[in-house]
């Protein structure tokens, strides 16, 4: 389209008006030209009016949260839960150095926690993120870069990278029991590419790389959760996987999910077995989403890393290792199910149930952990929300290392200071049927742990909805 400057259009209009005034009886061709000039005048006035007024942000429908990683995040095997943050998406100019459709997003999440047990080391036991009491803490700082696929408009590829720093990083990715070399990948929470194959009517979505696990209803980013603290089940079930995952939408109600990965919390494999997941996402009604997952793995290493001296049999980029003779090959089975019901525009209800069994050797007696959680959220006003969680875990020792019955209740008050800044005040009570929680005296334990927490979450970027 040829661009005509405003001055040139004005000259054209003036000349045409003079021509029109001097002509008493315009010909049909001249009359058509005058009509066209009138149209240009109206268009120019509309353009001037539009340029002179501020442009309002485009309204975008709220997207459900990432209590489990969501499909719109190119994470096909997860199901969104509750849009806890109730954010208002904002339009941001596209950054010229990034490809079209790429979003750059930043999040800060910090908290102060008070533990009424006055525990030694200020440690909150059985917490995934709010791990320290009587301390100002950086839970996590995140940078998320995403270019999502858009198959409906012919763009079948995409990619996403999530970088993370802070206490949450140590919880999620700093465990040498799972990662042979955790330092290499510790700040890369997610990094995967996506391609949507033109299969049948809905396409087959394939991701390859490292992605956040969607076993369990809760997710990483606090802005998308009901509560500030995380449940036992979030802390117990896998945080991430490295490998291949696929999602095929059979129809508007059912999506089939499949994974093949290195294992739970394994960016690099520590044995030759490849874990698998088989699952369904079912949406019987617009207000109800139900996920059912079965995960089969083998979480016992066949190699010991970071070995020095003569015991090191081999070397991997400067890290000594030695094979384990006759390594254990017992399996891990996880049956995970959760459902979300948007009961009304203000009320959200959710539930989760899990059964986990693991064997050390194939012939060993199984160790079991099972239980579940209930959630509710009331969006009282546009700025105020109330959230609650109650959960139970019969832990055979897989989670806490002790055979005990764990329970917790959490009540959360949320206030939105602005669209991208929320404060959460939270009261939580953990309790067990055995003395387990720290006190101010090292050899004295209590059956309960009560904490009060204030969390602050701030984020900005072009990505709308849940992360």
User: Which CATH architecture is the domain 71-461 placed in?
Assistant: Beta Barrel (2.40)
The reported pTM is 0.80
Q: 465 burial class (0-12, 13-18, 19+ CB within 10 angstroms)? A: buried
Bridge-partner residues for 361, per DSSP? none
CB neighbour class for 455 (10 Å; exposed up to 12, middle 13-18, buried from 19): buried
> What residues in the chain have per-residue pLDDT under 50?
1-23, 53-82, 84-92
CB 254 within 8 A of CB 281: yes
Nearest-10 Cα torsion for 80, 466, 111, 141: 120
- In Å, what is the CA distance from 429 to each residue of 135, 139, 334, 378, 437? 19, 20, 27, 21, 11
8 A C-beta contact, residue 214 and residue 178: no
Task: Please state, in angstroms and as integers, the Cα–Cα distance from residue 274 to each residue in 185, 300, 358, 387, following that order.
Answer: 20, 12, 16, 38
pLDDT value at position 107?
Answer: 98
Residue (of 142, 133, 140) closest to 171 by Cα position: 140
Burial environment of residue 266 by CB neighbours within 10 A (0 to 12, 13 to 18, 19 or more):
buried
Residue 73 DSSP class: G
State pLDDT tens for residues 273-316. Answer: 999 999 999 999 999 999 999 999 999 999 888 888 787 888 88
Residue-level pLDDT at 308: 80
Q: Which helix (H) or strand (E) holds 120?
A: none
Q: Tell me phi and psi for residue 133, to 5 degrees.
A: -110, 160
Model pLDDT, residue 163: 97
φ, ψ at 188 (rounded to 5°): -100, 95
Q: What are phi and psi of 407, to 5 degrees?
A: -140, 150
Phi, psi of 318, rounded to the nearest 5 degrees: 90, 0
Encode pLDDT of 346-368 as tens digits.
999 999 999 999 999 999 999 99
Domain limits, the chain: 6-51, 71-461
Per-residue model confidence (pLDDT) at position 305: 86
């Amino acid at each position: 389209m040829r661009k005509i400057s405003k001055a040139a259009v004005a000259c054209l209009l003036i000349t045409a008006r003079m021509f029109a005034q001097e002509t008493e009886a315009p010909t049909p061709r001249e009359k058509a030209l005058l009509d066209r000039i009138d149209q240009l005048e109206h268009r120019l006035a509309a353009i001037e009016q539009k340029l002179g007024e501020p442009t309002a942000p485009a309204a975008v429908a709220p997207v459900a949260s990432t209590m489990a990683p969501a499909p719109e995040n190119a994470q096909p095997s997860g199901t969104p839960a509750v849009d806890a943050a109730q954010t208002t998406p904002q339009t941001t100019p596209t950054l010229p150095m990034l490809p079209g459709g790429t979003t750059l997003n930043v999040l800060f999440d910090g908290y102060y926690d008070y533990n009424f047990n006055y525990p030694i080391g200020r440690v909150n036991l059985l917490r995934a993120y709010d791990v320290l009491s009587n301390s100002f803490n950086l839970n996590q700082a995140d940078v998320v870069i995403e270019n999502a696929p858009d198959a409906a408009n012919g763009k079948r590829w995409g990619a996403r990278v999530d970088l993370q720093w802070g206490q949450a990083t140590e919880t999620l990715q700093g465990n040498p029991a799972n990662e042979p070399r955790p330092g290499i990948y510790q700040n890369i929470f997610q990094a995967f590419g996506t391609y949507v194959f033109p299969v049948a009517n809905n396409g087959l979505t394939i991701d390859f790389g490292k992605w956040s696990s969607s076993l369990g209803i809760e997710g990483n980013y606090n802005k998308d959760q009901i509560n500030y603290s995380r449940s036992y089940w979030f802390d117990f079930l896998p945080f991430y996987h490295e490998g291949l995952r696929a999602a095929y939408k059979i129809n508007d109600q059912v999506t089939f999910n499949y994974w093949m990965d290195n294992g739970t919390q394994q960016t690099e494999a520590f044995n030759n077995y490849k874990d698998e997941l088989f699952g369904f996402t079912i949406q019987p009604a617009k207000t109800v989403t139900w996920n059912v997952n079965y995960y089969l793995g083998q979480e016992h290493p066949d190699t010991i890393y970071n070995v020095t001296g003569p015991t090191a049999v081999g070397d991997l980029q400067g890290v000594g290792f030695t094979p384990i003779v006759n390594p254990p090959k017992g399996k891990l089975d996880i049956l995970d199910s959760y459902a979300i019901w948007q009961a009304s525009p203000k009320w959200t209800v959710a539930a989760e149930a899990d059964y986990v069994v693991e064997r050390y050797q194939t012939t060993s007696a199984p160790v079991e952990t099972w239980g579940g959680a209930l959630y509710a959220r009331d969006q009282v006003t546009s700025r105020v929300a109330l959230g609650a969680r109650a959960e139970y875990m019969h832990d055979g020792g897989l989670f806490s290392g002790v055979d005990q019955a764990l329970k917790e209740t959490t009540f959360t008050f949320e206030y939105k200071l602005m669209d991208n800044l929320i404060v959460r005040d939270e009261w939580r009570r953990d309790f067990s049927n055995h003395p387990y929680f720290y006190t101010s005296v090292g050899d004295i334990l209590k059956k309960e742990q009560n904490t009060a927490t204030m969390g602050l979450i701030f984020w900005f970027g072009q990505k709308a909805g849940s992360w």
